[in-house]
Structure 1
Amino acid sequence: MTTSACLLLWLSLVCTCWAYSGLPDASFTIEENRYEPNWKSLDSRPLPQWYTDAKVGIFVHWGVFSVPSYDGAWFWEWWKGENRRQDVVDFMKKNYKPDFTYADFAKEFTATFYNPDHWAEIFKASGAK
């Protein structure tokens, strides 16, 4: 390293230290609250502002599992997966041809009755934000 490079590095370091020397002390303390594993203790926690402002949220999980309109999002698992449920297996045997696959539901997932404006009205009326 050349002498001028060392001098420039040293000058940069001095200027940086001088610039930070005027900053207020950044030390602070964090209050450590300990809560007990009971409702009274947990309910003593302050609520965050976002919770006070918007207490209700809505999550919509809508997919090909809604085509058979039987049970829910875990339909495939209960029909063909490791956690089969006999009522789901029986439903499929009764209502669909033997070689029907889960992917075949996609052709019938047309969203014919999907009305996003109506959904938005319902969500707004519920108080969700």
Structure 2
Amino acid sequence: MVMSRVFNPMSLRKICVGVFANNQAGDYASSMKAEKLFQRRVILSETAFAEIMIWHVPAPISGSIHSYKYRLAYVIRGECVLRYDNEAGKGDHRHINGREEAYRFSSPRQLMTDFFEEIRRWSDEHADD
């Protein structure tokens, strides 16, 4: 079935370079005894899904002032079109339309609200694509 090929986790590693391909979050999580709070893949359509991972960490990672490590990605037809993450050294930011911009993190709940709102906006803007 085509969907299983599109949604293969290993293909996601290749698609979202810098978010899923670098195992930094996993390495950080294991070395710092992070607690996984949330991990889910949400199928949004036959060709799109969101991948969400959030950890509570004992100390802020470099570039952040809160105790969370996260990565969220919106993937359509095998292309990562929206990402939110706080890669060590870069702090809280998002990638959209080929740009990287700062993101103001307040809580995991607000992060997911903002992410899904941005998915809605992106989908509305690209409805004819």
> Same fold per TM (> 0.5)?
no
Of Structure 1 and Structure 2, the greater helix share is in: 1
Greater length-normalized contact order (CA 8 Å, ≥ 6 residues apart):
1
TM range (shorter): under 0.3
| Normalised TM-score (structure 1) | 0.22
Tell me the TM-score normalised to structure 2 length. Answer: 0.22
Greater Rg by CA: 1
Q: Which has the higher strand share?
A: 2
